[in-house]
Amino acid sequence: MKQKLLYFLILFAIVTGALFQPNQAEAQTRNVYWDGILMVPGQAGKIKVLKPINLWKRTSSGLVFERVLKVGEQYRVYRYDELYGGQYGLGGNMYITKIAGYVEYKTPSKAKLQELALAQGTPSTGPGNSTSLFPTEPTPNLTGGKVLSQSVTQIAPGIRKKYFDIDGEIGKQNLFVIDYDGKTANIELKTELAKDQLIGLETTSSQANGVKQDDSYHVVAGVNADYFDSQGQPIDLMMMEGSIVSTPQTSINELAVLGIKADGKAVIGAPQVSMNVSVNGQQSYAINSVNRKRLANQLVVYTRDFAATTNTNGLGTEVRVKVESGKLNGKEILTGTVIENVTGVGNAILNRNEIILSGHNFASQFLQTIQVGDKIEINTSFTPAEWNDVREAVSGRYHLVKNGTLQTIQVAGVAPRTAVGIRSDGSIFTAVIDGRTSNSKGLTLQNTAKLMKDLGANYAMTFDGGGSSTVVTRELGNDKVTVVNKPSDGYERSVSNTLLFISKYKTSTLNTIAPTSNVLEVFQGAAYTDLSVPVKGIDQYMNPVAVSGIGKVTSAALTSSGGKQVVSASPGTYDGVVTYDGKSTTIKLVVTNSLDSIVASDSYLQVQKGQAIQLSAKGMKNGQAVLTEAAAFNWTATGGTVQANGKYTAQNKDGIGTITIKYGSKSITIPVIVGEVAPTILESFNKGILNYEATGDRVKSVSVQEVVNDRDGTKALKLVYDFTGTSGTSGAYVKAKTNLTISTPPKKIGMWVKGDGKGNWLRAQLVDATGKVIQLDLDKNVNWTDWKFVEASVPTGLTYPLKMDLPIRYMQTENTNKSNGEIIIDDIQAIYKD
């Protein structure tokens, strides 16, 4: 008894040790407990056992019973999915089935999650910021349409990528949203400039991937930003890393700017900028702009962010200043020392850590008073004053929502759109709506405003739209961003600047995995030896971790049979699990029965009576054989029997039959000839000749008549023609109004013909199922005047069924042999043996 008790205690210690095993995250400065259980990052909740319930372990073969949990036991819960009727994941592939009255599940409060976040130095994992890679969210209610489907992916702590398929008022819409909760630590928004200067253009993805990154600095998403001129310069205010890159040009009543403050908070408004320069603490002169074209009487500050040179003419003065401290923003004073003063030259070279003061006329006269060695100070201030705290800024054009109020925009036109919004809780999101395609129409600016308000914006504005509208994200497991929408130009357009989402969480160890695609298509009835998908490694912050391998897929939609996984579920979408190196994640299995075509191992069969033959089939999709399991197809037969595995057994008598292979909406029929099959009469004319008409080329006259033949006393068709007086190849044809059909491949086509001895050429014309035209030469010299049976071999490799559209083509190619006459046709037939 003691030995059994000791064994039980050891087993209990092993299992619970796996469930509560400490990890790197638990090695914290301050532990956080919740109802007596130590909390760890990634924990979604906890569960308490109310009645004895089984503990299960998930394996590649299904659930394996571990033990019965006792009343009062508590466990951390890391995940929940719908497999096996719904189960809570406890870690280590251990699961408890959700059964009402047997377990009590709770989630931690926001305060408790914040306490854990502070203790760990990691972001909160509360509602709206789940550590699940594919969290679920409520479907938004839209005034301009209905959300048909949506998907959410956590791409970094506090940042989610969302996709919405919308049935809108004017048609389909595809919406892509990047959503930052505005509070998670180590996340920042920054602006980026094409080719690292104002003059020039570069794609959004290239700008994002061109940012210098390391294991603690990751670009995870971005969108195109400001409108731009013909040189690629953004139109209005831009700030990077706490310094003005360009001052605005648009009138204040039309200006729209997004600003990111030093504390990460966002603001949308129309700031005014005031700047002046003083020399040696005395003279002060107003600065007109930063990095803009120098106009008459203006004083402009140029930095290396503009271009390689100032691009100015020689009608002015340019003072070079070595920057010693400060930046061009509302919180700092830029100070420096004059190291050069040049008049009448222009186009000064721009260097890093220097500025050029460039003036024309009155401004030039002021600059000429400055000496090398003088001390320069530049003061900058914004109105409203809150913009003095802004460190990153990028502009757009139209205000969509102001202080929760929808704005009225009198601009017509439906197009792709890019917009940015700020919610009352401080969260920031961008929205890209594709347009100009059948899959996504695009929106008017007014409807874009409604959409942004529906998505929660308290303030919102547009960025550049149309072909510029682009959103890029770092897909799970990747180290670079890629374009996720479909720009309307058909390719990614180069733009002036971008707004980027940055994660500053240092890459850690492997925490979980992600399939290369979170949707796997499988085919109903298919049997897979080892259903698997490539996987990518991810740390706890959604940063990529290098792994090499594939993950095994399990699902309730699959059953084990003969060492294989058989798709036993009906068409639909099912939950699945991908497992690799002890790590698991979810995947959606889409069970389908949709194929492009079915290809059979034999196009037709000719077998002996009672003969058995094994057939196979392949289901084709996108040029690939995706289904080869015979039992997945539905097999039916006439003229014999066929088993579910494709084995056909012919009947014990001569005849013609078929084997039909079906899967979903696709089917293919194989003709079968059993034993010695007599010819099939395709047309006897005993019902008359109403189905036939006469046509011709280069003929004086042609007609068809119904006659009683003198061969067997039945009805026949007479073709009467007159080729006299014509030149070139003449032809008299019998055309079938409803084509004769040949479903079973014959060896030959034959018919009885009473000739007229005129030496003409007798042919028949067929068309196969692909549209291929086949000419059969029955006789090249009709030199007989009595009845004669003629036949022609049918080529192999045709696609059935065949259609006989011209049963008779009676032709003469030589002008010297042109004549008139008549022939009689009877019993056109398909012949199945040599």
55-76, pLDDT tens digit by residue? Answer: 988 876 788 898 999 998 888 8
Q: Which residues of 526-544 are buried (b: 16+ CB within 10 A; e: fewer)?
A: bbeeebbbebbbbbbbbbb
Q: CA dist 233 to 192, 195, 302, 397, 680, Å?
A: 13, 11, 14, 15, 80
Q: What is the pLDDT of residue 7?
A: 40
State how far the Cα of 542 lies from the Cα of 761, in Å rounded to an integer.
78
State how far the Cα of 330 lies from the Cα of 313, in Å rounded to an integer.
31
Our CA angle for 138, 141, 144, nearest 5°, is: 145
For residue 24, pLDDT beyond 60: no
Q: Which two tokens stand for residue 365?
A: 């006269």
pTM (2 decimals)? 0.64
| Percentage of the residues of the chain whose pLDDT score is greater than 70 | 93
Mean pLDDT of 816-825: 96
State how far the Cα of 670 lies from the Cα of 638, in Å rounded to an integer.
10
Closest residue by Cα to residue 481 from 464, 458, 498, 496: 498
Q: What is the pLDDT of residue 406?
A: 97
Q: 13: which residues sit within 8 A by CB, 6+ positions away?
A: none
Q: Which neighbouring-strand residues pair with 635?
A: 661
Q: What is the pLDDT of residue 11?
A: 39
Mean pLDDT of 547-554: 90
Q: What is the pLDDT of residue 834?
A: 78
Q: What is the pLDDT of residue 116?
A: 66
Closest residue by Cα to residue 260 from 380, 401, 387: 387
Mean pLDDT of 802-809: 96
For residue 833, pLDDT beyond 90: no
Classify residue 408 by its DSSP letter.
P
State how far the Cα of 22 lies from the Cα of 17, in Å rounded to an integer.
9
Amino acid at residue number 391: R
CB 492, CB 518: distance < 8 Å? no
Q: What is the pLDDT of residue 130?
A: 33
488-494 — which CB contacts under 8 Å span 24+ positions? Answer: 488/415, 488/416, 488/434, 488/435, 488/436, 488/437, 488/442, 492/203, 492/204, 492/205, 493/203, 493/224, 493/467, 493/468, 494/194, 494/201, 494/202, 494/203, 494/232
Q: Work out the pLDDT band at 111, boundaries 50, 70, 90.
A: low
State how far the Cα of 64 lies from the Cα of 58, in Å rounded to an integer.
6
Classify residue 85 by its DSSP letter.
G
Q: Parallel, antiparallel, or unpaired: how do β-strands 519-523 and 583-592 relate? A: parallel
Closest residue by Cα to residue 271 from 397, 387, 190, 378: 387
State how far the Cα of 315 lies from the Cα of 114, in Å rounded to an integer.
61
For residue 131, pLDDT beyond 70: no
Q: What is the pLDDT of residue 133?
A: 81
**Least-confidence region, from 35-49, 86-100, 127-141, 471-485:** 127-141
CB 822, CB 753: distance < 8 Å? no
Q: Work out the pLDDT band at 110, boundaries 50, 70, 90.
A: low
For residue 433, pLDDT beyond 50: yes
Q: What is the pLDDT of residue 426?
A: 96
CB 736, CB 804: distance < 8 Å? yes
> How long, in residues, is the chain?
834
State how far the Cα of 237 lies from the Cα of 260, in Å rounded to an integer.
13
176 C-beta neighbours (distance < 10 Å), count: 24
With H, G, I as helix, E, B as strand and everything else as coil, classify residue 449.
helix
Amino acid at residue number 506: K
Mean pLDDT of 476-503: 96
State how far the Cα of 656 lies from the Cα of 316, in Å rounded to an integer.
99
Closest residue by Cα to residue 828 from 688, 707, 682: 682
Type and span of the H or E element at 4: helix 2-19
Longest dimension (CA), the chain: 128
Which has more confidence, 471 or 104? 471
Q: 1: which residues sit within 8 A by CB, 6+ positions away?
A: none
Q: Which neighbouring-strand residues pair with 533?
A: 551
Please provide the average confidence, as pLDDT, over all residues in the chain.
91
Residue 451's region, left for phi above 0, alpha for psi from -120 to 50, else beta, is alpha
Mean pLDDT of 47-58: 91
Q: Which two tokens stand for residue 540?
A: 């706890």
For residue 13, pLDDT beyond 70: no
Closest residue by Cα to residue 285 from 378, 361, 360: 378
For residue 262, pLDDT beyond 80: yes
State how far the Cα of 66 lies from the Cα of 17, in Å rounded to an integer.
14
State how far the Cα of 618 lies from the Cα of 62, in Å rounded to an integer.
29
**pLDDT tens-digit map of 435-453:** 999 999 999 999 999 999 9
Q: Work out the pLDDT band at 81, boundaries 50, 70, 90.
A: confident
With H, G, I as helix, E, B as strand and everything else as coil, classify residue 817.
helix
Q: 704: which residues sit within 8 A by CB, 6+ positions away?
A: 689, 692, 693, 694, 717, 718, 719, 720, 734
Closest residue by Cα to residue 523 from 625, 602, 615, 646: 625
Q: What is the pLDDT of residue 16?
A: 40
State how far the Cα of 184 lies from the Cα of 121, in Å rounded to an integer.
11
State how far the Cα of 376 lies from the Cα of 325, in Å rounded to an integer.
11
For residue 128, pLDDT beyond 90: no
Q: What is the pLDDT of residue 25?
A: 32
Q: What is the pLDDT of residue 118?
A: 55
Burial label for 670, CB within 10 Å (0-12, 13-18, 19+), is: buried
**pLDDT tens-digit map of 505-542:** 999 999 888 888 889 999 999 999 989 999 999 999 99
Q: Work out the pLDDT band at 107, boundaries 50, 70, 90.
A: confident
Amino acid at residue number 587: I
